Amino acid sequence: MIRTVHGQVTEVRAPEVVIEVGGIGYLIHTNRTADTLPIGSPALFHTYLAVRETALDLYGFETRDELEVFQHLISLPKIGPKTALQIMLQADITLIKEAVANDDPVRLSKLSGIGKKSAEKIVSGLREKFDDDALAESSASRGNTADHTSDTIDALISLGYPATDARRVTIQITSENPDVSTSTEALRLALKLLNTL
């Protein structure tokens, strides 16, 4: 089993990247974006090797936590590595853990390709996989977040922005502007920031 790959980025075709290690290029399917993987830069991936009859596919993540969530997802019925990666391309692990901790499948059902029933199965299935401490921490972190944060993320997703971008930008806006108290205000600032990226 290949658990980590550490080498130089030689090619990026998101969601795939080629990492050269000792003259060998490893094709890795990843949730990392192209802007975080400049050609020629060093990169470390925590990996999972999916063995099929016709192929050996390597899936790689920036952190062990992400790899763990990926492995939990593929252990659920009818979720293979490609589907699990698709979920993680749209939702970071914090969002996934919050959805599970707060028993909120609606948050996941807003992601492309995930229906209401699938989201419910994912949330109930992952609840058994995550330890209670991690879920309590995710639930508490959401409880400390203003209601408008969740509304702003939902609004950005409905406008077509990826869930990871929506969450990242909204958290950035609310942390940099603690005086923002409405979702309308937060949405205006988030859209302004997204349009400059």
* pLDDT one-digit tens code per residue, 125-175: 998 888 655 555 555 444 444 456 777 877 888 788 877 788 778 878 877
Quote the tokens at residue 197. 């990226």
The alpha helices in the chain, defined as continuous H runs, are 64-74, 81-90, 93-101, 105-109, 116-129, 132-143, 147-158, 163-176, 183-196
When mean pLDDT is compared across 4-8, 29-33, 36-40, 87-91, the lowest value belongs to 87-91
Please, which pLDDT band fits residue 110 given cuts at 50, 70 and 90?
confident
What 8-state DSSP symbol labels residue 38? -
Query: In this prediction, what percent of the chain has a pLDDT beyond 70?
Result: 89
Query: Quick check: 71 pLDDT over 90?
Result: yes
Surface-to-core class of residue 120, CB atoms within 10 Å of its CB (0-12 exposed, 13-18 middle, 19+ buried): middle
CATH class label, 4-62: mainly beta
Q: Identify the three-state secondary structure at position 105.
A: helix
Q: How far apart are CA 168 and CA 175, in angstroms?
A: 11
Phi, psi of 182 (to 5 degrees): -125, 155
Q: Which comes out higher in pLDDT, residue 185 or 76?
A: 76
Match domain 65-142 to its CATH number in 3.40.50.2000, 2.40.10.230, 3.30.870.10, 1.10.150.20.
1.10.150.20
CATH class label, 146-196: mainly alpha
| Segments making up each domain of the chain, as ranges | 4-62, 65-142, 146-196
Residue pair 48/81 in contact by the 8 Å Cβ criterion: yes
Residue 144's pLDDT is what? 42
Q: What is the pTM of this model?
A: 0.73
Quote the tokens at residue 42. 């060093």
Q: Give the residue from 171, 101, 169 showing the smallest Cα distance to 139.
A: 101
| Mean pLDDT of the residues in the chain | 84
Query: Quick check: 28 pLDDT over 90?
Result: yes
Residue 184's pLDDT is what? 84
Instruction: Give the pairing type, strands 56-61 and 24-30.
Output: parallel
